[in-house]
């Protein structure tokens, strides 16, 4: 039986257990021996990170060939309009090529934990929230996609990977789920 840990990664935490500097890592939060991240989440992104002790499960989660959907909630600068959302749905040309089409919709601001530090609020610049579901995992892809359509990302929270979701998992907390790989 494989072990699977769902972790709600806070902003500023590295998706690894060690660091040469004094930055926060998974070791500061997850006290489960023998598990490793299945994929990555940037230091300045928050939300769901899966860890497992099973190499095949890790590959199934992280390998783009399996195209496991990943859903993100993104607070973006500007008011997302239908044309921008449609660009995201069709795919966006980035420096490393065209992205696969994404599911994209504007959503009401989600009820999330406060970010530390908070997103800088600017009275003169509106913002909104969008939900994006991708089936590939390029480096900083959501941020690059939203910027390419004129909506720079201010806050990024990964909410779901495949069937696994944050649900009511508090920031900085983890829970273990049984899976068969």
Query: Residue 48 has which token pair?
Result: 């769901």
Give the closest residue to 96 by CA, choosing from 135, 148, 157, 156.
Answer: 148
CB half-sphere exposure, 154, CA atoms < 13 A: 20
Does residue 42 carry a catalytic annotation?
yes
Q: How many C-beta atoms surround the C-beta of residue 89 within 10 A? A: 15
Give the alpha-carbon dihedral of 179, 157, 70, 164, to 10 degrees: 20
Name which of 170, 171, 101, 165 is nearest 132 in CA terms: 101
Q: Greatest CA span in the chain, whole angstroms?
A: 53
Please check whether residue 145 is in contact with residue 92, taking contact to mean a CB–CB distance below 8 angstroms.
yes
From the list 42, 44, 54, 111, the catalytic residue is: 42
Residue 35 in contact with residue 53, Cβ under 8 Å?
yes
68 with 60: CB under 8 angstroms? yes
Which residues have a catalytic role annotated? 42
């Amino acid at each position: 039986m494989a072990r699977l840990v769902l972790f709600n990664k806070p902003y500023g935490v590295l998706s690894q257990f060690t660091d040469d500097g004094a930055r926060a890592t998974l070791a500061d939060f997850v006290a489960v021996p023998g598990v490793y991240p299945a994929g990555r989440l940037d230091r300045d992104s928050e939300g769901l990170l899966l860890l497992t002790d099973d190499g095949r499960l890790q590959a199934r989660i992280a390998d783009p060939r399996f195209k496991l959907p990943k859903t993100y909630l993104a607070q973006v600068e500007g008011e997302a309009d239908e044309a921008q959302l449609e660009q995201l749905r069709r795919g966006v040309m980035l420096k490393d090529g065209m992205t696969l089409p994404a599911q994209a919709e504007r959503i009401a601001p989600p009820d999330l934990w406060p970010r530390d530090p908070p997103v800088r609020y600017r009275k003169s610049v509106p913002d909104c929230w969008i939900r994006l579901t991708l089936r590939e995992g390029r480096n900083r892809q959501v941020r690059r996609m939203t910027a390419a359509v004129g909506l720079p990302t201010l806050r990024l929270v990964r909410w779901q990977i495949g069937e696994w979701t944050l649900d009511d998992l508090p920031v900085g907390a983890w829970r273990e789920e049984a899976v068969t790989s």
